[in-house]
């Protein structure tokens, strides 16, 4: 993970979005700039679901870029988020992934904080027998961990360290906001959660999510069982900022369809069949005939609605070449038994070993490895021209260019 020197880099012309230099995926200096310009900058970082914190005192730990964070429901019922770091000597305050707490007391020297992250007490602050202790003018209010502004929207919790970040609906824009509401329109139920380790830079996965035309080419399951093809209809929405997107499509129920052969899609040539064809059954729960929607919020949130599998994904960078992808499978509190079964069946289409998206977990690593010796080369992002606008065609890379548009406004490379 050695950083490339400026002399070794290929130039990245200002405002260039159709060619992306490969050094941006493994340069350590770039990674450091991202921590400041993006994760601690004017963006909303996804922190979790309100449903993960149903009761007062419930907390979870997560990350904003490299920074560890505590997210907790306070005594007043509101959700707060603050750095998971004692300001005394830097130790973690919460050591578990999740739990219930009345306060957060550092195990190192017992500095205690309330559920808002305020420092409330310091052990031996007045010393012992009149000696030692903190200075007389020591102010507890000046020595707590950094706090994030938080907002909740459709059951999602977002946090930002910047006072310049607009409210969440302004940040998302009307079109993306509407598509979030389309899915997350009633109380959420959590079905399960797991973490997938990706052998690649976080941006490669986010690009893959925003790549609206690879699915019927990369994922042989779609073509083999006649589930999805690019010509079935749909489109891509790109926010004005470029950072957020929605891709959506109709979905075939499986079976004979001559249009698949016309598109010449890569598929398994053997006569495969499904022992349980009900994995392709679909309930049109949103009433609009749209059975696949992928929505992303910069810099690290994805909402999937693939058939009846609903999930939120959190993209967490670990270093220049490693990323953690946190999957949380969700439904709604009023799901009946049939819908619960469908959600679990359709969950087998996605994830690390999913019939469909297993390849997504591998292809980023292929790119990371393939570009390791090509720091002076760049990718070609020209499908659909140079636009970053909403399009009725998914045979475009508009949303990928939109990502780089927003990225370059935050990271000055």
Once rounded to an integer, what is the mean pLDDT over residues 191-203?
Answer: 96
pLDDT of 150 above 90: yes
In this prediction, residue 282 has a pLDDT band, given cuts at 50, 70 and 90, of confident
In this prediction, residue 242 has a pLDDT band, given cuts at 50, 70 and 90, of very high
pLDDT of 226 above 80: no
CA 11 to chain centroid, in Å, comes to 29
Count of CA atoms in the C-beta half-sphere (13 A) of 280: 19
Length of the chain in residues, anyone?
Answer: 413
In this prediction, residue 218 has a pLDDT band, given cuts at 50, 70 and 90, of low
In this prediction, residue 251 has a pLDDT band, given cuts at 50, 70 and 90, of low
User: Do residues 255 and 281 touch, judged by C-beta distance below 8 A?
Assistant: no
pLDDT, residue 357, reads: 77
Q: Using CA atoms, how far apart are residues 26 and 4, in angstroms rounded to an integer?
A: 8
* Number of other CB atoms surrounding residue 243 within 10 Å: 28
In this prediction, residue 273 has a pLDDT band, given cuts at 50, 70 and 90, of confident
From the number of C-beta atoms within 10 Å of its C-beta (0-12, 13-18, 19+), residue 406 rates as buried
Q: Between 392 and 203, whose confidence is greater?
A: 203
In this prediction, residue 2 has a pLDDT band, given cuts at 50, 70 and 90, of very low
SS3 assignment for 106-175? CCCCCCEECCCCCEEECCCCCCECCECCCCCCCCHHHCCCCEEEEEEECCEEEEECCCCCCCHHHHHCHH
pLDDT, residue 394, reads: 80
Q: Which of 125, 89, 83, 124 is nearest to 104 (CA)?
A: 83
List, for residues 58-94, the tens digit of each pLDDT value: 999 999 999 999 999 999 999 999 999 999 999 999 9
Range with lowest mean pLDDT among 230-234, 312-316, 338-342: 230-234
Count of CA atoms in the C-beta half-sphere (13 A) of 60: 14
The values of phi and psi at residue 396, to 5°, are -150, 170
pTM score, whole prediction: 0.92
Give domain 45-153's CATH number out of 2.102.10.10, 1.20.910.10, 3.30.300.20, 3.10.20.90. Answer: 2.102.10.10
pLDDT of 222 above 80: no
pLDDT, residue 164, reads: 97
Q: E-assigned strands of 44-122?
A: 45-49, 58-64, 67-73, 79-83, 98-100, 104-105, 112-113, 119-121
Range with lowest mean pLDDT among 87-91, 137-141, 246-250: 246-250
pLDDT of 275 above 50: yes
CA 48 to chain centroid, in Å, comes to 10
Residues carrying CATH 2.102.10.10, the chain:
45-153
Q: What is the mean pLDDT of the chain?
A: 90
pLDDT of 312 above 90: yes
Residues carrying CATH 3.90.380.10, the chain:
173-410
Q: Between 244 and 264, whose confidence is greater?
A: 244
pLDDT, residue 279, reads: 80
3-state helix, strand, coil in the chain (%, to 5): 25, 25, 45
Range with lowest mean pLDDT among 68-77, 88-97, 233-242, 363-372: 233-242
Range with lowest mean pLDDT among 24-38, 188-202, 279-293, 295-309: 279-293
Helix axes 202-210, 398-410, angle to 10 degrees: 140
pLDDT of 258 above 80: no
pLDDT of 152 above 80: yes
Q: Using CA atoms, how far apart are residues 193 and 186, in angstroms rounded to an integer?
A: 20
Range with lowest mean pLDDT among 129-138, 279-288, 323-332, 393-402: 279-288
Give domain 173-410's CATH number out of 3.30.1360.20, 3.30.1600.10, 1.20.272.10, 3.90.380.10. Answer: 3.90.380.10
In this prediction, residue 57 has a pLDDT band, given cuts at 50, 70 and 90, of very high
Tell me how far CA of residue 376 lies from CA of 19, 82, 235, 348, in angstroms: 12, 40, 34, 40
pLDDT of 268 above 60: no
Please name the helix (run of DSSP H) or strand (run of DSSP E) that holds residue 2, with its range, or none. Answer: none
Give the percent of the chain with pLDDT over 70. Answer: 89
pLDDT, residue 1, reads: 41
Q: Is 340 left (phi over 0), alpha (psi -120 to 50) or beta?
A: alpha
User: Do residues 268 and 220 touch, judged by C-beta distance below 8 A?
Assistant: yes
Once rounded to an integer, what is the mean pLDDT over residues 142-163?
Answer: 97
């Amino acid at each position: 993970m050695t950083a490339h020197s400026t002399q070794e880099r290929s130039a990245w012309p200002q405002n260039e979005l159709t060619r992306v230099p490969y050094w941006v995926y493994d340069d350590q200096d770039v990674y450091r700039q991202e921590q400041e310009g993006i994760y601690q900058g004017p963006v909303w970082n996804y922190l979790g679901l309100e449903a993960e914190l149903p009761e007062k005192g419930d907390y979870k730990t997560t990350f904003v870029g490299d920074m560890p964070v505590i997210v907790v429901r306070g005594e007043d019922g509101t959700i707060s988020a603050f750095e998971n770091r004692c300001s005394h000597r830097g130790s973690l305050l919460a050591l578990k992934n999740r739990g219930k707490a009345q306060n957060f007391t550092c195990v190192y020297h017992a500095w205690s904080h309330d559920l808002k992250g305020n420092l409330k007490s310091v052990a031996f602050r007045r010393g012992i027998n009149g000696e030692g202790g903190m200075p007389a003018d020591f102010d507890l209010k000046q020595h707590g961990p950094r706090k994030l502004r938080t907002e909740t929207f459709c059951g999602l919790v977002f946090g930002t360290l910047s006072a310049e970040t607009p409210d969440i609906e302004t940040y998302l824009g009307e079109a993306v906001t509407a598509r979030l509401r389309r899915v997350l329109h009633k109380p959420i139920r959590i079905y399960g959660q797991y973490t997938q380790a990706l052998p690649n830079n976080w941006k490669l996965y986010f690009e893959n999510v925003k790549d609206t035309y690879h699915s019927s080419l990369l994922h042989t399951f779609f073509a083999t069982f006649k589930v999805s093809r690019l010509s079935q209809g749909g489109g891509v929405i790109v926010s004005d900022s470029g950072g957020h997107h929605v891709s959506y499509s109709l979905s075939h129920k499986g079976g004979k369809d001559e249009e698949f052969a016309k598109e010449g899609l890569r598929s398994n040539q053997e006569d495969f069949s499904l022992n349980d064809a009900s994995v392709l059954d679909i309930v049109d729960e949103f009433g609009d005939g749209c059975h696949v929607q992928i929505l992303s919020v910069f810099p690290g949130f994805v909402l999937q609605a693939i058939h009846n599998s609903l999930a939120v994904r959190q993209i967490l960078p670990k270093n220049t070449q490693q990323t953690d992808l946190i999957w949380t499978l969700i439904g709604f509190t009023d799901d009946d038994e049939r819908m619960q079964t469908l959600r679990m069946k359709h969950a087998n289409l996605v994830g690390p070993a999913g019939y469909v998206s297993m390849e997504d977990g591998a292809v980023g690593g292929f790119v990371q490895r393939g570009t390791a010796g090509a720091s002076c080369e760049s990718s070609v992002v020209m499908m659909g021209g140079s636009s970053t606008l909403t399009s009725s065609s998914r045979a475009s890379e508009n949303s990928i260019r939109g990502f780089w548009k927003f990225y370059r406004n935050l990271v000055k490379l």
